[in-house]
Amino acid sequence: SGWRPVAPPTERISPLVRSRCHRDDRGTRVGAIPNPYLCRRHNVSNLCAALAALKLFGGDLRGALAASAGFAPLPHRQQELGLVGGVLAVDDSISTTPESPLAALEVYAGREVTLILGGFDRGIDYGGLLAALARGAAKRVICLDKAGRRIREEAARLPQRPESASF
């Protein structure tokens, strides 16, 4: 079939990123982020927001940070399916807002990615996502369900689409 599984993110992430530290509002080191998935820039922001809320209620920041080691992302959220012909396939079909796949594409910048997206169509403006795709953010885009159908239709009307992007 040509498919080759990819190593789990834990095995591919650099030690520098893996040791990324979280600091509180006074700059005091709380601890390292133990989960490579949470070291992605958009997830660091989410983790910081969760820890800030926990701090407001007097929670244990170090304990919460340690507990984040067991965090598992949702299925279909930046789920790496494997490699075929050197192209990494990432299932991000749970993303029905344009910001979610944009965050995913940022993680894989500079790589040849086949992005699978779609889902329930809430009538959201996909202009920013379409612009990123037109700039070549993904080699291929596979569109699923109602949102995917609309993204495909809107992409077909783009004045500029790189030859490498197929919808």
pTM (global) more than 0.75: no
The full DSSP string for 29-65 is: EEEE---GGGGSHHHHHHHHHHHHHHHHTT--HHHHH
The model's pLDDT over 6-58, given as tens digits with 9 standing for 90+, comes to: 444 444 433 333 445 556 667 667 778 888 888 888 788 888 888 888 888 99
